[in-house]
């Protein structure tokens, strides 16, 4: 038995066998073979096995990632039967008695070098495709299986260094009971995905992949961040009970699915969900969200080789709006740059991407991209209750310019006799300190604010949230953050605007009573946090929370704020 401590990224307990995504290392030697016919057959068998695996991966990708992404695997399949690749390998075996894996590796390396030398980024990336395919064939030649999420067919806990967006898109909730990674924190991509899929997860364990072998029994405790490898009988019983308790608690929560969120003293606050893809709406409805507070549209642009068309975007927005049946849907326009790159835009590499050319800054300069998205949104607006917000607004001018582009596109559509909703609210994210400080001026021009705490905290504290060495500065409860949040809410209410929050903080049970007291109108969070938050809010009094506002804003450290919240509202 070994215990590792990481960060609990998604609530729940999972107990299952480990499935490690760590890739085995291949040792390939230049050996001569005595039986050439047998070696040729070995190659054929490996090619066939690789083929059937790739077909399975392609089919999974088609269902879970769409046709576009699946096309890559169709290209991979063709590499396996490429005569200019396979014939020379066979000739090498036949003429020089070279072992299949060496012959294949040599030819593959030649192609990889050739693609890597091309001066076209897209072509350079194709080198990775060849690496991928040849690695799969070699794994069969050496009989060392290569892990792949699409090939999982029994209940497992996935163990990986990290999970990329395309990895998480392939996770099949039916078999993947939980996951654990070496790196990452509560706001990393894998953590956010775990919560949206409601899979228990522990991230940032540093050494999960080196400690865990395939098939070991694991316990993932997403509440405390504990990862138990090869547990004792006693631990197994204990955690099975913990799991059952959680299941019961969720049943209790689920009774509130169709209820409005009302505090003990009769105030209604809106609990909304954050989504990235139209498919996420299912969980949003299951968990009884009163709306979508953040639709991150960048997923439409990622994992592909060109911009999405207006039609593709229209379909996605329309689907979300229709499924939400008139409940508010706040769509954030493209927020790319920073840690989210789009290789096909060929943007120059920046030294400081989080402070660089990203989000609205990019959209205002590359207006064709922005206008296409706005047209798609406006066309979809008649299918539900759409609200649009712009990310990374730093100045009033930026907001006004973005809004006037939106209005221009609206006029154009009207002239084309295309129906557009009349009453679309237009708001902005507050994630740059300048916007928070100047909120009273912004409040005169916007319909609403949505506070993006993940970025607001990193910009206010000047601490990169991806940098573990300065992670101690990532302090949601620092009074400086609370004062900014409070300023934004007061400024908005002065002008009769509403304020939401769509960062991780909005779903945190320690933060919820504090934010209620500051007057936050809308809390947008992972779908899985909604019912616990509703339960909590039912037992809170807004008047009581508000009575502590001055005291709270006069505190000097994050620790004191946390202690105060825990003591006053009995949360931990």
Partner 1 sequence: MNSTYIAKDNKNTKQHRIGEKGEIPMLQKTINITSESGIHARPATLLVNKASSFTSNIDLEFNGKKVNLKSIMGVMSLGIGQGASVTFHVDGDDEQEALDAIVELMSKEGLGA
Q: Any catalytic annotation for residue 189?
A: yes
| The one segment of 117-125, 200-208, 211-219, 468-476 that binds partner 1 by CB under 8 A | 117-125
- H or E segment to which residue 253 belongs: helix 233-254
Minimal distance in Å, beta carbon 112 to partner 1?
10
State the nearest-atom distance from the C-beta of 91 to partner 1, in Å.
13
Place of tokens 């690496």: 131
CA separation, residue 423 to residues 319, 378, 387, 388, 500 (Å):
20, 11, 9, 11, 19
Which of residues 10, 15, 65, 85 is near partner 1 by CB under 8 A? 85
91 binds partner 1 (CB under 8 A): no
Choose, from 189, 243, 544, 548, the residue flagged as catalytic. Answer: 189
Q: Does 128 bind partner 1 (CB under 8 A)?
A: no
Helix (H, G, I), strand (E, B) or coil at 268: strand
Among the listed ranges 116-124, 159-167, 290-298, 413-421, the one in contact with partner 1 (CB under 8 A) is 116-124
Minimum CB distance to partner 1 smaller for 102 or for 111: 111
Neighbour-count burial for 301-332, b at 16+ CB within 10 Å, e otherwise: bbbbeebbebebbbbbbbbbbebbeebbbbbb
* Given 34, 52, 83, 368, the residue binding partner 1 (CB under 8 A): 83
Residue 81 or 245: the one with the smaller Cβ distance to partner 1 is 81
Among 305, 311, 339, 397, which residue interacts with partner 1 (rule: CB under 8 A)? 305
Is residue 359 within 8 Å of residue 342, measured between CB atoms? Answer: no
The single residue among 28, 40, 71, 345 that binds partner 1, judged by CB under 8 A, is: 71
Rg (CA), the chain: 26
The helix (H) or strand (E) run that includes residue 15 is strand 13-20
Q: DSSP label at 327?
A: S
Total chain residues near partner 1 (CB under 8 A): 26
Residue 502 a catalytic site member: yes
Instruction: Please choose, from the candidates 256, 18, 324, 20, the residue with its C-alpha nearest in 3D space to the C-alpha of residue 144.
Output: 20
Task: State in angstroms the smallest separation of the CB of 346 from partner 1.
Answer: 13
Residues in 385-414 at the binding interface with partner 1, rule: CB under 8 A: none
Q: How far is the CB of 114 from partner 1 (least distance, A)?
A: 6
Q: Tell me the CA distances in angstroms from 494 to 252, 294, 428, 478, 553, one per residue in order.
A: 38, 24, 17, 25, 19
Q: How far is the CB of 109 from partner 1 (least distance, A)?
A: 11
Regarding 82 and contact with partner 1 (CB under 8 A), the answer is: yes
Quote the Cα angle for 244-248-251, to 5°.
140
301 binds partner 1 (CB under 8 A): no
**Residue among 114 and 237 whose Cβ is closer to partner 1:** 114
Exactly one of 76, 99, 140, 502 is catalytic; name it.
502
- Cα–Cα dist 212/228, whole Å: 10
Q: Does 122 bind partner 1 (CB under 8 A)?
A: yes
Q: Any contact of residue 268 with partner 1 (CB under 8 A)?
A: no
Q: Closer to partner 1 by CB, 80 or 159: give it.
A: 80
DSSP 8-class letter at 18: E
Minimum separation from the CB atom of position 82 to partner 1 (A): 5
Write down the least CB distance from residue 150 to partner 1, Å. 19
Q: Which lies closer to partner 1 via its Cβ, residue 48 or residue 224? A: 48
Q: In whole angstroms, what is the distance from residue 458 CA to residue 252 CA?
A: 36
Taking CB under 8 A as the rule, does residue 346 contact partner 1?
no
Q: Which of 420, 463, 411, 489 is nearest to 185 (CA)?
A: 463
Q: Which stretch binds partner 1 (CB under 8 A): 115-123, 187-195, 380-388, 498-506?
A: 115-123
**Burial of 28 from C-beta contacts in 10 A (0-12 / 13-18 / 19+):** middle
- 464 near partner 1, judged by CB under 8 A: no
Q: Beta strands 292-296 and 201-203: pairing type?
A: unpaired
> Read out DSSP for 358-420?
-HHHHHHHSHHHHHHHHHHHHHHGGGSEEEEEESS--SHHHHHHHHHHHHHHHHHHHHTT---
> Which phi and psi angles does 381 have, rounded to 5°?
-60, -25
Smallest distance, partner 1 to C-beta of residue 73, A: 10
Q: Is 78 in the site for partner 1 (CB under 8 A)?
A: yes
Phi, psi at residue 72, to the nearest 5°?
-60, -40
Rounded Cα gap, residues 468 and 262, in angstroms:
38
Q: Is 26 in the site for partner 1 (CB under 8 A)?
A: no
Q: Should residue 304 be labelled a site residue for partner 1 when binding is judged by CB under 8 A?
A: no
Site residues (vs partner 1, CB under 8 A): 68, 71-72, 74-75, 78-79, 81-85, 110-111, 113-115, 117-118, 120, 122-123, 126, 130, 305-306
What positions carry a catalytic annotation? 189, 502
């Amino acid at each position: 038995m070994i215990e590792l401590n990481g960060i609990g990224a998604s609530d729940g307990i999972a107990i299952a066998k480990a499935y490690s995504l760590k890739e085995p290392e291949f040792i390939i030697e230049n050996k001569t073979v005595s039986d050439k016919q047998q070696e040729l057959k070995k190659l054929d068998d490996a090619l066939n096995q690789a083929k059937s695996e790739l077909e399975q991966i392609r089919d999974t990708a088609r269902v879970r990632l769409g046709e576009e992404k699946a096309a890559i695997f169709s290209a991979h399949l063709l590499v396996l039967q490429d005569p200019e690749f396979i014939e020379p390998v066979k000739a090498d075996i036949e003429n020089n008695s070279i072992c299949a894996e060496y012959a294949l590796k040599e030819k593959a390396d030649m192609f990889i070098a050739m693609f890597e030398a091309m001066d076209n980024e897209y072509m350079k990336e194709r080198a990775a495709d060849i690496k991928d395919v040849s690695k799969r064939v070699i794994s069969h030649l050496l009989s060392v299986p290569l892990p792949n999420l699409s090939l999982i067919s029994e209940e497992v806990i996935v163990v990986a260094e990290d999970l990329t967006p395309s990895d998480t898109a392939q996770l099949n909730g039916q078999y993947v009971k939980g996951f654990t990674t070496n790196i990452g924190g509560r706001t990393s991509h894998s953590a956010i995905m775990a919560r949206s899929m409601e899979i228990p997860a522990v991230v940032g364990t540093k050494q999960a992949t080196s400690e865990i072998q395939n098939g070991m029994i694991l316990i993932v405790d997403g509440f405390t961040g504990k990862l138990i490898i090869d547990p004792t009988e006693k631990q197994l019983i204990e955690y099975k009970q913990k799991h059952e308790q959680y299941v019961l608690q969720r049943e209790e929560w689920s009774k509130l699915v169709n209820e409005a969120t009302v505090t003990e003293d009769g105030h209604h606050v809106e609990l909304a969900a954050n989504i990235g893809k139209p498919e996420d709406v299912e969980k949003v409805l299951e968990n009884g969200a009163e709306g979508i507070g953040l639709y991150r549209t960048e997923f439409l642009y990622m994992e592909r080789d060109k911009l999405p068309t207006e039609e593709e975007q229209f379909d996605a927005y329309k689907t979300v709006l229709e499924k939400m049946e008139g409940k508010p849907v706040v769509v954030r326009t493209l927020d790319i740059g920073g840690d989210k790159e789009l290789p096909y835009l060929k943007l120059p590499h920046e030294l400081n991407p989080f402070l660089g050319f990203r989000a609205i800054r990019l959209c205002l300069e590359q207006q064709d991209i922005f206008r296409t998205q706005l047209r798609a949104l406006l066309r979809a607006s008649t299918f539900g209750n759409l609200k649009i917000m712009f990310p990374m607004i730093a100045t009033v001018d930026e907001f006004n310019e973005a809004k006037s582009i939106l209005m221009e596109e609206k006029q154009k559509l009207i002239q084309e006799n295309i129906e557009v909703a009349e009453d679309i609210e237009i708001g902005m994210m507050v994630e740059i300190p300048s916007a928070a400080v100047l909120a009273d001026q912004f409040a005169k021009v916007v319909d609403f604010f949505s506070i993006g705490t993940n970025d607001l905290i990193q910009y206010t504290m000047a601490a990169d949230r991806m940098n573990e060495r300065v992670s101690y500065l990532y302090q949601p409860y620092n009074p400086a953050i609370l004062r900014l949040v409070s300023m934004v809410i007061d400024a908005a209410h002065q002008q009769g605007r509403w304020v939401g929050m769509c960062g991780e903080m909005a779903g945190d049970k320690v933060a919820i009573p504090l934010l209620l007291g500051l007057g936050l109108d809308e809390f947008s969070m992972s779908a899985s946090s909604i019912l616990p938050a509703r339960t909590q809010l039912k037992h809170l009094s807004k008047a009581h929370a508000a009575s502590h506002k001055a005291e709270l804003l006069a505190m000097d450290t994050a620790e004191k704020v946390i202690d105060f919240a825990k003591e006053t509202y009995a949360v931990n």
